[in-house]
Every structure is written in structure tokens, then in C-alpha cells.
Structure 1
Amino acid sequence: MALHPALAAVRAGVRRSLVDLDPGATVLVACSGGADSLALLAAAVFEGHKAALRIVGVTVDHGLQEGSSERAVAVSDQMRALGVDESAVATVSVDAPGMGPEAAAREARYGVLGELAERFGAEVVLLGHTLDDQAETVLLGLARGSGARSLAGMRPGFDRFRRPLLGVSRSDTETACMVEGIEWWTDPHNADPRFTRSRVRTTVLPVLEQELGPGVAEALARTADLLREDAEALDHLAAHQLQRGHLTAYRAAGTLRFRRTDAD
């Protein structure tokens, strides 16, 4: 029986993200209990165990909702049922002066995931961001008047963190969960209109799809890929020119800029 296309897409993304790891390596998978991260976790267990990798599932309790600690324990139990070699619950305090609640939670989450990766000896931490998350990020950047660097969206990988599902839609992660009989939790914060990203997710993108036709999210994610490739090429070119002494650095209006030495 052929594998469902949605499940195949999720597993393929995870397989590509693990291909450079040696047998016996440890992989940390961040899991909130939502469809995206559960689809990621199940695929990591399937693909990781085929490659003789150790899979550790981690859920982070931000303490922002009533019953969050019980929810975290339930997610940990679910991760074990899905076959992880070990699971852990991390509790963080979301309190970063000068940051909004979303940014503060993200900062705390990445911090504790890095600490847990060190503790478990994980070479890689997998995150469940999808194509839809990428599209939302690009739209938010456009609304803020950001430059090309911000419009390039989320990177597929940085440090030890990797995002295997940036080319996979949210509908595919949900379908993958349904195919595998995995029940997921829907975080009410994701639909809370107090949060900007939630409004983009529940209102702005659906309106764009309705008025402009399907494929808007895919187009925005593709734009991010193209801009990221351009930015990386420019960085490489600038580094090459600077190394050869063809550029001089100077500050103007508080910004570090570069000028060709033969343009004086």
C-alpha cells in the first residue's frame, strides 16, 4: 500500500535533516503536542530509528495557561507512546523586560532547548515550523517594512537547530497525524486575536487566499527562499571582496557600511 503523500512529505523532510548524522547520535525533538510537532516527532522516531539514532522528545511548559503543567505531562506521555527513547519536560519562566509575550516565550524556549541539548548530548534539535509559519513570518516582515534579511524568513537551520518541515504545509502535518492515528492538541493562543501572528494566521492569510486564490502561502515561502539565497550570495561576495582588500568599512548614521577602495 502506497504511503499517503502528506506522511511521505513529512518523513522526507525529516530524513533529509538527519542524513549527515552518524549512527548512535542523539536528536532532540521539540514537541508542543500540536499537529506540526507531533508529526515531526513521529517521523523523527521512524526515520531516526532506521538510522540507529537516539531520539529524545522534549516539551516546554511556559506556564502561560491554566493547566499547562498537566498538559506538558500528557505530551511527555504521548511522546513515549510514539516511541521516543527518552522524554523530558522543561519548565521556563517567561519574563523578559522589553519583549512582548510571544518574543519572550520564544527566547525562553530556545534557551532551555539549548541547555537540554547539552545535557542529553544532542547534536541536533528539530523544530516543527512549517511552510505556513514561514509565510506568516514573511507577511509580518512586510507589514513592518523589513529589509531583505528579515523577509528571508526563518532559516532551515542555525547552530544545532534544524527545521525539517519548512517545505511542508500545516494541512499536511495534520493529515499525517490523522493517517497515523495521532491525536493532537490545539493551543488556544494560536487563535487568540491579541497576538499579531494569530491574527495573520486566522484572518489575514485566509483572506489573501480567498481574494487572490490558493497558493499564497507557498508563494510567500518561495519568496523567503529566494531572498535568503540572494542574501547569502551577497554575504559571500562581500566577504570575498573584504578579504582581498577591495572594500573598506566605515560608519554612517550608526550603520556599518562598506565601500569599494577603487571607487574613491
Structure 2
Amino acid sequence: MENKTDILIIDDEKVILDAIQKIVSLDNFSSDACLDVDEALLKLETNTYKLIISDIMMPGKDGFQLLEILRQKKIATPVIITTGFSTLENAVKALYEGAIGFIPKPFTLDELVSIVARGLEYNKIFKNKYSLKARSMDELISYVPCPPKYYRLGFDSWLNNSSEGTIKIGLTDLYLKSINSIQSLDLMKVDEAIYQGGVCAKLTDNNELVHQLLSPASGKIIEINNQLFETNNLLEKDPYFQGWIYRIIPTDIENDKTNLTPCSSDF
């Protein structure tokens, strides 16, 4: 009989497993805990989960190998990667390999709660996209993919060439759909440097959860889209065109693109 547990947690440190299980239980989510990837794969043979939370560095197979195996087995369960070896490179690789989120250790209760909430929303979106029981065309479509000429960092953010060697960056519609209505947007400032895989914006939703956006490229911010603060719901209505966030001078755009997914591959 199939298990109805919500979340599968994988970490070689029992104290971390216990902490995550305790936190998700506060929102009445059930969870299974595994000390390594092989144990988790055995559970996945007979059980279906709404979300997987996995460490990177573990004895035996690591979190990146888990992502590859899930892809090979066509297991579409959203995965959040967490690690004590927190680098921008690990964040970028995790999203490139298919994770829907990355959270460094040590994390706070609020950080974990917000990313888990987003991960569970991804699960609903992915199920609706392929569901024959969708109640409407909107549910069947679920979200709008990035335009073909764009590049995306995981499911988080996108970039597109702008004018005179600059690029624009923004949020994907899928990322926005995973958030429960934006209450406020916290952006960086002109002339500040941003880094690929680093946090470049924070969004607070109507449940007071704060969601961090990772940048798809490195560079210097030269313009902020102030229309986001002047036009209601512009970000949600038009995330790929009028709802861009920053225009930047990239540091090494060609190198950054090697870590991104061409949006043309989504069609």
C-alpha cells in the first residue's frame, strides 16, 4: 500500500533530520527521514512524496547524484537542496540540475518554512500541468514558460540581452505561481554587485513568508525597474517583459550562460 507521507528528508546528520522533521510537523506535514540516498531510493520505489529535502555531501551518493537518478527515473517530485558547504557554485549547480530551491545550513525556522511552502506549491503546479482532471484551462496551463530567447537559472530567475551590452533579469512565472501573492518586494540598489547564485531580491507573501530569489548572472546593477512599485501587480501580470527587475552590466555573460538552461528547451 502506498505511503501518504508528505515529505522525504535525506541527511547523514540525525540532528538535522530531527530538526527538519520537527519544523515541518509544526505545519502538520508528515515526513520520512533517511540517512543516505540509497535508503531514500528504496522508499521512493514504493512511496510517492510531495517534496524531497536533501543534503549534498553524504557518504555514498550525494545530493547531485540523487537529482540525476530522479531525472533518469522520471520522478518529478520537487527537490530542495540544503548543505553546510554553502557556495554560489553549489547553489547554481543545484538549480541547474533540477532542484527547485537551495537553502544553506545553518538555516532559520522561517527560511525552512518559506522554502518548504514554495516546494509544496511546485508539487501542486506540476501535478496540475499534466492532470487530466484539471478543472479549467488555467489549471491545465498552470504557468507561462520563459520566452524561447531567454535563459533561466533553475525555476527561479531569467536573463535576456538588453541594449548596449547590458542584460535584464527577472523572475519566472513558475516562481511567482509558487508564492502566495506578493505583499512586498525588497530589491538591491543601483551600483551594487550581484553574483550568479547569490540572493538578489526578497519577496514577502501574504502569509508573511520571505522568499529569496537567486540571480541568474553576475554583474553590476545599473537600473532598477521602478514601475514595479508604481503599477499594481505588474510583476505578476507581465514577469517576462514589463515586469523585469534589474538591468545589469554582466561580468562574464558567456560563462554565466553555461550554468543556465536555454528557455528554448522548454518548448
Structure label with greater radius of gyration = 1
Would the TM-score normalized by the shorter structure come out above 0.5? no
Q: TM (normalized to structure 1)?
A: 0.29
Greater fraction of residues in strand: 2
TM-score normalized by the length of structure 2:
0.29
